[in-house]
Amino acid sequence: MKTFNSGGVHPPENKLTEDISIEVMPVPSEVAISLNQHLGKPAKPVVKVGSEVKKGQLIGEADGFISANVHASTSGKVKAVKPHPHPGGQYAMTVFITPDGKDEWAEGCNTAPADWKKLSKKEIIEKIRDAGIVGMGGAGFPTNVKLSPPPDKSIDTIILNGAECEPFLTADHRLMVETPDLVVQGLEIISSLFEGKAKAYIGIESNKPDAIAALKKLAEPKGIGVVSLKTKYPQGAEKQLINAITGRTIEEGELPFDKGCLVQNIGTAVAVYEAVCMNKPLIERVLTVSGMEIAERKNIMARIGTPFREIVAYCGDMTAKTNQVIAGGPMMGKALFSLDTPVVKTTSGILFLNNSRLNKSRERTCIRCSKCVEVCPQGLGPWLLANVAQLKEFDEIQLYGLANCTECGSCTYVCPSKRELVHWIKYAKALVNNRQKRKSA
Amino acid sequence: MISEAFIPAVSSLGAVALALGVIIHFVSKKFHVEEDPMVTIINDILPGVNCGACGYPSCNQFAEVLVETKDSSMSCPAGGSDLAAKLGDTLGIEMAEPKPQIAVLMCQGDNDIARETAEYMGIQDCWAATQAFVGPKQCRYSCVGLGSCIAYCDFDAMRLENGLVVIDKDKCTGCEACIAACPTGVLVMQEKKAERYFIACNSHDKGAATKKACDAGCIACQKCVKVCEDDAIVIDNFLAKIDQEKCTACGKCIEVCPTKVNCIRLEHDLNAVKQKKAS
């Protein structure tokens, strides 16, 4: 079975919701749509307080090349545009809409599925850009930018990422089982942009045999390879997935297209299909509501902008023992500070965890056991990075590959001294950035 | 005999030491570097903490440049006017009077006044905390309260008290080392004055949001702007700011501020220094 060449861990999978079908969540009493749901510059608001909007209407316009459009996820009245908590942990400009209950689509949106083969390459990319599609795996890189690599780079491998290696999360898994046809069509649209020169693969971890079977039936006759991957974290990280499937290694400072590869998420492929064939902007996504402390674990199709508080109520409330609510997976997700935080395009799940799952003991000193070195998929020395960060040696730390760390969390997971290795690395990255900013100012 | 065993060892080592001594003597003569004795004298007067506030990486380099150029506009912010006078006497020139500065925390949101967001269990450092979320306090412009700046202060002028950094007015030399160490930019430099009024708030949130997060936040109500007779107060992006050049320290603004914990503060920097000296 294929896997990446070095490191990795295997935390308890806890895929508690893998057999629960996707449930469509009703319109919440208020939607709070963040204008910063992607990498790059936040979108510029194009609606005013008090104006009426329709479902699918543009409310935030991409500001610059690396940015993405944002659309209303239901019809109603704009109540406010103000900073609001964001699942990334910071505040972001957010458009608040009070739904009118009609849930009316804007003109030209959500049309009957049309044949994408009649569209030109340029039209397809324009449709993807207009629909505000971003990478739905977590980073949120604008998809239209990723699909237009520089002309001197030739793409020979397109990989659809169905690994979903984070424990608990099953959103992509359910999409693959329930709508394999949309996944395959989305991938075909993406491949068509490279004139059939690129070989397409779907990489799926072996703990999802039903998804592998469903996709094999549909994809293999079309020449798409379905690759079963070893269940190991972080199999779904872009660099590791490329390494597992093609054997190529993305070196420091390189991007996947430097090695002829392009990776897209399962959710993104479905969104691409809906945008290109049905003119449907990205206004909803599948997310997993799981963890030990929520009454009903579910996979839900929630509108972008649904406050987490309403999702908690929809899933039958959390118990009093809940100590941490995490947006995303337990390895890379972020602990929330407010339940008013809304769903964004990159929210793959919400987890409710109690004390027994938390690393509550204090950090102790490094005992040089080198477990973190063994599990680092990027071949770094996390203990060294953390220790040097702690000593505030920010010139030296860059020599040890600070920029190469993908913050996957494998090192923190195995550390017997409970060191906050990834947190120290993030801290170092922030301070290195701050110093560079001050130097250039 | 033991003493016999010593003779070759002592004599051979002695010979080596003598030979090296002679070499060192000649080398030091041959490669002697002429150094202005004045640099050493100036260097001894300077504080010697290499804080970098003057723009030179070390006190020694400052001394070298000063002796060479005799530029009267050069100043050591950490030393203040006393040091400037001493430097002037030593070099026989009239040094410019330095404008003493002080680091000021534009926040009063201590653990009682500011509302907290969530329990923070990560690394106890302001930069680490702001990487994880907005910080332990709801106001994202506030003093994070974990004291990252304290380690950067060479003069022992900062301490943490009830979730807020406190700056010792007498010890702070205005070297600016703490400014770059703050992730929220809540520390600023201000000129020392006999009576210095300033808005001790850094929040650019709208009034309602500021009030929700903190009792001492500037809600941009315009009251102080209207009462100010010198046009010294302006509101920029929902935060009042007092222009220290225009302010005549009449104190009218502090009386009209409606916030629960007055966000306008009055400090007596110079009096504090003088009183201490008198005693």
Q: How confident is the model at residue A190 (pLDDT cuts 50, 70, 90)?
A: very high
Residue A403 has pLDDT above 70, yes or no: yes
SS3 content of chain A, % helix, strand, coil (to 5): 30, 20, 45
Same domain flag for B67 and B200: no
Compare CB distances from B127 to A90, A358, A430 and report the shortest one's residue: A430
Under 8 Å between Cβ of A57 and A77: no
Domain count, chain B: 2
Same domain flag for B112 and B62: no
What pLDDT was estimated at residue B191? Answer: 87
Q: Which residues contact B3 (CB under 8 A, 6 or more apart)?
A: none
Cβ-defined contact of A334 to B132 (cutoff 8 Å): yes
Across A146-161, average pLDDT: 91
pLDDT digits (tens, 9 = 90+) for A157-175: 999 999 999 999 999 999 9
Nearest by Cα to A205 from A232, A179, A185: A232
In a domain, B79, yes or no: yes
* Domain stop point among B68, B91, B114: B91
Cβ-defined contact of B122 to A420 (cutoff 8 Å): yes
d(CA A335, CA A46): 31
Query: What's the token pair of residue A104?
Result: 């009316």
Residue A126 burial by Cβ neighbours in a 10 Å radius (0-12, 13-18, 19+)? middle
Same domain flag for B205 and B233: yes
d(CA A14, CA A44): 39
Same domain flag for B145 and B267: yes
* Domain stop point among B91, B124, B159: B91
Residue A272 has pLDDT above 70, yes or no: yes
Q: Which residues on A lie below 8 Å from B134 (Cβ)? A: 85, 89-91, 337
Compare CB distances from B123 to A360, A392, A423 and report the shortest one's residue: A423
d(CA A163, CA A1): 13
Same domain flag for B68 and B192: no
B133/A contact by beta carbon, under 8 A: yes
d(CA A273, CA A189): 7
Give start and end residues of each alpha helix (H) in A117-203: 121-130, 143-146, 171-178, 180-192
B140/A contact by beta carbon, under 8 A: yes
**pTM, entire model:** 0.87
In a domain, B13, yes or no: no
Across A140-146, average pLDDT: 93
Query: What's the token pair of residue A407?
Result: 């913050």
Q: What are phi and psi of A309, to 5 degrees?
A: -55, -40
B211/A contact by beta carbon, under 8 A: no
* Domain stop point among B91, B121, B155: B91
Under 8 Å between Cβ of A185 and A273: yes
Q: Which residues on A lie below 8 Å from B206 (Cβ)? A: 82
Residues (pLDDT < 50) of chain B are 276-279
d(CA B43, CA B39): 6
Same domain flag for B146 and B189: yes
**Chain A contact residues (CB < 8 Å to B):** 82-83, 85, 89-91, 334-338, 358, 360, 363, 392, 420, 423-424, 426-427, 430-431, 434, 438
Across A179-204, average pLDDT: 92
Same domain flag for B80 and B179: no
In a domain, B22, yes or no: no
Length of chain A: 441
What pLDDT was estimated at residue A139? Answer: 85
What pLDDT was estimated at residue B279? Answer: 46
Q: Count of CB atoms within 10 A of residue A192's CB? A: 16
d(CA B4, CA A317): 93
Across A293-321, average pLDDT: 94
Q: In angstroms, what separates the C-alpha of B174 from chain A's closest C-alpha?
A: 19
> Which of the 8 DSSP states describes residue A152?
T
Q: Can you list the domains of chain A with their CATH numbers?
A: 116-278 (3.40.50.11540), 371-440 (no CATH)
What pLDDT was estimated at residue B162? Answer: 92
Q: Can you give the CATH number for the domain in which B167 is found? A: 3.30.70.20
Mean pLDDT of chain A: 93
Q: Can you give the CATH number for the domain in which B55 is found? A: 1.10.15
Compare CB distances from A420 to B123, B151, B206 and report the shortest one's residue: B123
- Paired strand residues for B188: B104
Judge if the upstream peptide bond of residue A377 is cis by omega within 30 degrees of 0.
no
Same domain flag for B41 and B161: no
Same domain flag for B65 and B146: no
Query: At which residue do the structure tokens 């916030």 appear?
Result: B259
Q: Which residues on A lie below 8 Å from B132 (Cβ)? A: 89, 334-335, 423, 426
Residue B59, domain extent: 37-91
Q: How confident is the model at residue A357 (pLDDT cuts 50, 70, 90)?
A: low
Under 8 Å between Cβ of A42 and A93: yes
Across A17-43, average pLDDT: 94
Same domain flag for B45 and B181: no
In a domain, B5, yes or no: no
Q: In angstroms, what separates the C-alpha of A6 from chain B's closest C-alpha?
A: 28
- Using CA atoms of A264, A168, A295, A140 in order, give the dihedral in degrees to the nearest 10: -30
DSSP, residue by residue, A326-364: EES-TTT-EE-S-TTPBP-TT--EEEEEEGGGS--SPP-
B117/A contact by beta carbon, under 8 A: yes
Under 8 Å between Cβ of A164 and A236: yes
Please state at what angle helix A171-178 crosses helix A209-219, rounded to 10 degrees. 40
In a domain, B87, yes or no: yes
In a domain, B179, yes or no: yes
Same domain flag for B151 and B106: yes
- Using CA atoms of A224, A229, A233, A239 in order, give the dihedral in degrees to the nearest 10: -50
Cβ-defined contact of B134 to A423 (cutoff 8 Å): no
What pLDDT was estimated at residue B271? Answer: 58
Residue A209 has pLDDT above 70, yes or no: yes
Q: How far is CA A14 from CA A177, A318, A360, B70, in A?
A: 18, 18, 21, 73
Same domain flag for B79 and B114: no
- Judged by average pLDDT, the poorest of A13-17, A48-52, A355-359, B255-259 is A355-359
What pLDDT was estimated at residue B34? Answer: 80
Q: Is the dihedral of CA B102, B108, B109, B110 positive or negative?
A: positive
Under 8 Å between Cβ of B202 and B165: no
In a domain, B1, yes or no: no
In a domain, B14, yes or no: no
Nearest by Cα to A382 from A354, A363, A401, A360: A401
Across A1-5, average pLDDT: 90
Residue B27 burial by Cβ neighbours in a 10 Å radius (0-12, 13-18, 19+)? exposed
B207/A contact by beta carbon, under 8 A: no
Strands A52-53 and A76-85: antiparallel
Give start and end residues of each alpha helix (H) in A133-284: 143-146, 171-178, 180-192, 209-219, 238-246, 266-278
d(CA B114, CA B214): 4
Helix (H, G, I), strand (E, B) or coil at A384: helix
Which own/partner contact pairs does B262-265 have at CB distance under 8 Å and 24+ positions apart?
B262/B216, B263/B108, B263/B199, B263/B200, B263/B201, B263/B216, B263/B217, B263/B218, B264/B197, B264/B198, B264/B199, B264/B200, B264/B224, B265/B108, B265/B197, B265/B198, B265/B199, B265/B200
d(CA B119, CA A35): 27
Residue of B nearest to A90 (CA): B134
pLDDT digits (tens, 9 = 90+) for B110-149: 999 999 888 888 899 999 999 999 889 999 999 999 999 9
What pLDDT was estimated at residue A75? Answer: 95
Q: Which residues on A lie below 8 Å from B126 (Cβ)? A: none
